[in-house]
Structure 1
């Protein structure tokens, strides 16, 4: 990794920090007070360091840098730096960055021999002296008007990490249906499988406080696109405050990102991160003690994890989710039945809806938002196996006695699914989402202890 000095364009020593600026020291883990001090803006060190990761972006790079630089000069009232992180480009990207850096004193250029957005951000951010770190995609798909509300809560100490989101009601987004479907599907999986609460994992418009980044980044492993998700999941598990900013976003039709391959890599990343969290490779308790803002979010407190006790309320919510799941099952079954045999179509339709059904019932029917979603989904798949056995058996029986048409097959599996639904509710209530009595009683004990302490 080499740095190009902004004033001369010559290669410097393998450090990311420009000459004359001190290196940000590594912050030892200390127990959190739950508060963040405002950033000191009266300093010679740039308050903000915006990283632009690039790979073979010679066509868009110069326009991006000049536009971003002009925006910051006009609207950001503190010192700033723009760092171009060249990820082993093979075209003229590096030379263009060097030339622009000789004209703009706030521009630094880092050349890395390895590709990957996560690798670039981790290396640049860990070495940056700036107290606020941000990054955005080189195409500047996100309207820069969102930059000020992204940075303000970090500078004030209100929040620890800020992200742009394209998936809220107030966001304005222009992009194709394929990207929209993949993005929303991926975030649904994050919410269902990993208990994530942020709305948009992959928007290339994020910022983080350096004091927080120094402690979290060393525990991230992904060097590519999943880095964003990994960072956000760790932030939430550590009890940090994530601020979301609705953005105006226009898709770049010339983007070189392979959306499908990136989505598959993200799914592999989810599996790896889940394994790391379960195995204890990432020291979440220690990080939470060092970084969490006072009490953990409500979704992580035991008192908030107890199932909603009203049987009638659970039945109503379960029925509503079941109706939506049945409709989805019918549509998926009919679609798959057009090009595969009924047993396989039934398996795929039941698997997809079972995963979504477990996640929805976990969150809404039984009121569980923290805990261990991986275990719940594993047990949910066992329940799915019972439903599969019932529907597959019904299909096999009807095919052994007659030759049903497409609608006869559908009526058979829907009827079998209704029987499986009753079994699913009982298993969810009595096994999958059942909370031990000891845990239910613990909040009362804790409350009593706090009352006694206050009285003394």
Structure 2
């Protein structure tokens, strides 16, 4: 008779026939001395190689290993499928490359089993973590998490680390709400958990980058950005205002560059669009109505204007120092610099100018169990 495991540890895989057997053998060896009953479920999402065949052989060799096959691709889809039907008390997952040191597994699940926390995540960005990875992935990871803090106001330090766990009662609340079936699944799950007031425990991990990772960095980053925009009404509104402001800036610069010169046209175009941008975002993005604080907000908006001016003027000056560009090249380079200035303004608006503006509901500090009971 099969007993219900205390912990279900999912390993989502796609075209991993070369590394799957070695990783699962290492995982099983580690679990022999583990103090809790763990079932390892290999969730193959639409592999086109022999991954599922390898998974079935591992399941035959190890009683605690199970193999599941999904016909559609998506790490989030695989996790949702297994977790939604599991009867284990704690649901967890780790990446097949085992980049995270397995010594962190017990600290990950312990606060969930004790009832102290609802969700637990491994973090590579907290004090006490030891990480070995290339500079490109380091920069992308830190920029992405900074964007989450600004756009979605999440407090978790590392949303992307492939090492997470949650209680089954928390999963019952969260999984039906998660829309993403791919890599943004993790982030969406955590944002929803925070909004529900669930307690999230962070575990510093030792992590070594897998040089043979199957993750395509640029497509994944773009998909994550789309997910952030979808979850942040505020960011979407700011982006729309930013597009209009940027286009207006380009038109003004083009019209004024002749009579005023490049730097003069840049100054005037930025000043006009900065005032309009602050007024539009005050009302449309951050929901601030009435005259109270209007002039203070415009004065603070001037700081964002000065930052944008420094960025664009500096870029323009460097461009003229290196070459004698045409008007079209000038405009293109300034367009890129203006987009960067827009992102900087969003950070200043969210964290400084309108930090208490109305936004989505904040955590209420109710636990997952109380949500289910309600």
2:108–2:203 Cα contact (<8 Å) kept: yes
| Offset of residue 199 of structure 1 | 1.6
Q: Counterpart of 1:100 in 2: which secondary structure? A: helix
Which residue, out of 101, 106, 111, partners 1:153?
A: 111
1:13-48 CA distance string (max 9 Å, x none): xxxxxxx55xxxxxxxxxxxxxxxxxxxxxx42111
1:399-446 CA distance string (max 9 Å, x none): xxxxxxxxxxxxxxxxxxxxxxxxxxxxxxxxxxxxxxxxxxxxxxxx
Q: Quote the RMSD (CA, aligned, Å).
A: 3.4
Which residue, out of 316, 319, 337, partners 1:349?
A: 337
* Count of matched residue pairs: 301
Which residue, out of 146, 150, 168, partners 1:192?
A: 150
Give structure 1 stretches of 5+ with no counterpart: 1-19, 22-43, 279-308, 374-456
| Offset of residue 342 of structure 1 | 2.8
1:125–1:133 Cα contact (<8 Å) kept: yes
From the superposition, tell whether residues 277 and 332 of structure 1 become closer, same or farther in structure 2 (CA, over 3 Å).
closer
Q: TM-score, normalised by structure 2?
A: 0.71
Q: Counterpart of 1:200 in 2: which secondary structure? A: coil
Q: TM-score, normalised by structure 1?
A: 0.59
CA distance in 2, matches of 1:318, 1:277: 17
Q: Counterpart of 1:341 in 2: which secondary structure? A: helix
1:208-257 CA distance string (max 9 Å, x none): 11111012101112111111111111111111111111211111111121
Alignment of 1:143-222 (within 5 A): 143-222=101-180
Alignment of 1:275-290 (within 5 A): none
Match of 1:56 in 2: 15
From the superposition, tell whether residues 176 and 211 of structure 1 become closer, same or farther in structure 2 (CA, over 3 Å).
same
2:304–2:344 Cα contact (<8 Å) kept: no
Alignment of 1:299-318 (within 5 A): none
| Offset of residue 148 of structure 1 | 1.4
Which residue, out of 63, 68, 71, partners 1:110?
A: 68
1:352-398 CA distance string (max 9 Å, x none): 2232333244324654397259xxxxxxxxxxxxxxxxxxxxxxxxx
Q: Counterpart of 1:198 in 2: which secondary structure? A: coil
From the superposition, tell whether residues 221 and 336 of structure 1 become closer, same or farther in structure 2 (CA, over 3 Å).
farther
Q: Counterpart of 1:203 in 2: which secondary structure? A: coil
Which residue, out of 30, 54, 59, partners 1:96?
A: 54
Match of 2:27 in 1: 68
From the superposition, tell whether residues 173 and 185 of structure 1 become closer, same or farther in structure 2 (CA, over 3 Å).
same
CA distance in 1, matches of 2:139, 2:145: 10
1:52–1:135 Cα contact (<8 Å) kept: yes
Give structure 2 stretches of 5+ with no counterpart: 237-291, 362-374
Match of 2:356 in 1: 368
